[in-house]
Every structure is written in C-alpha cells, then in structure tokens.
Amino acid sequence: MIVRSCRGAVVALGALAVLAGCGGETKAKPLPAAPETIQLATPDFEDGGRIPRALTCDGAGTAPTITWREVQGATELVLFVEDSDAAFTHWTAYDISAAGASGLAPHGQFPTGTKYGKNSAGKTGWTPPCPPKGDGPHHYVFTLYALKEASALPAGAEPDAVRAKLAGAVARGTFTGTYARG
C-alpha cells in the first residue's frame, strides 16, 4: 500500500516538473556571454516580434528558418533555443559547419552533418512554443554560438551538456520571439 502511494507521488511530482518546464515561475539561467558579432535572424518574424501560429503548438509546429552571417574564426556552430520565462530548452543543434561566413537552415533543416540534441521535453529536435493558456507572452531566445574547437557532443545530447560546451565561445548572435496562447 505504501509503495503504491509513493509511486503515485513520484508520478505526480514528475508531471509537475514537466509542466513547470512549459510555463510557470521558473526563470532560465543566463547563457554564457560571447562577443555579439554573428548576425542571426529568421525571415519568419522580426526580432522581438510575435512568433507565427504555424511555428507553435497551436499550428503545425514547424521549425523556423534560421539565417546567419559574419561567422569568423570558428570550427563549429551551436544553436540553443529556450523559453527564458520557463527555463525550457526548445531546441539544440550542434556540429553545424562553420565553413563560410554565412548559412541557412530552411524550416530548421541545418546542413548535412548537423547533430540535434534533446530538448526539455526529452525529444530530439524542435519542440514548438506552447506556453500555458492565460500566461502572458513567453520569450523564446534563439542563440547561435561560434566555437573555436569542436564540441564532440554525441547526437541526442542533453540540454545541460550542450549548455556546458558554450563557455568560451568566440562569438554569438541572438534574436527573440514571443508567443502567448489565446
């Protein structure tokens, strides 16, 4: 009887932890600093603007197109996307080739050889914005880091492992999108 009650409590606590990652009071810890020299953008919305419904859980949930320019002196690029209002990692992509000074990932499809890590939902790849109904707009921060040395991360790395490799980056670029459910 006690074992069954404890198991139920553990399941309930686990469910609360997952829900807290998608909304709630938790704030993300700041990402490592690096010189802001990479021009990172998306044609899907303006920096600071509202993320289109098609890119969220209320639409098709497709990944945005990502563009970058002005990358120099790097071996590898790493993308880290998180909801800064909920400490929820939505996407990590790494081992992105830094050859050339610019790049394009149409609908989130990075060049061949890119590896994707797990997000806070425990899935590999993009998890679309889906804040709790009734919350104000959440802020989704897209950050591309340039690393001087290869990260050597395996495919499916946990968000914290990816975050740990960002320290010492030689450059970064960011943009932010917002989303609130109606």
Q: Whole domain around residue 71: which residue ranges?
A: 2-179
Quote the pTM value: 0.85
How many domains does the structure of the chain reveal? 1
Least confident of 3-7, 17-21, 146-150: 17-21
Percent share of the chain, pLDDT over 70: 86
Cα→Cα distances 172→29, 69, 125, 128, 147, Å: 17, 11, 20, 22, 9
List pLDDT tens digits, range 60-112: 999 999 999 999 889 999 999 999 999 999 999 999 999 888 999 999 999 99
Interacting residues of 157 by C-beta distance below 8 A, sequence separation 6+ = 92, 94, 115, 117, 118
Q: Is the pLDDT of residue 121 over 50?
A: yes
CATH number at residue 59: 3.90.280.10
What is residue 20's predicted lDDT score, i.e. its pLDDT? 38
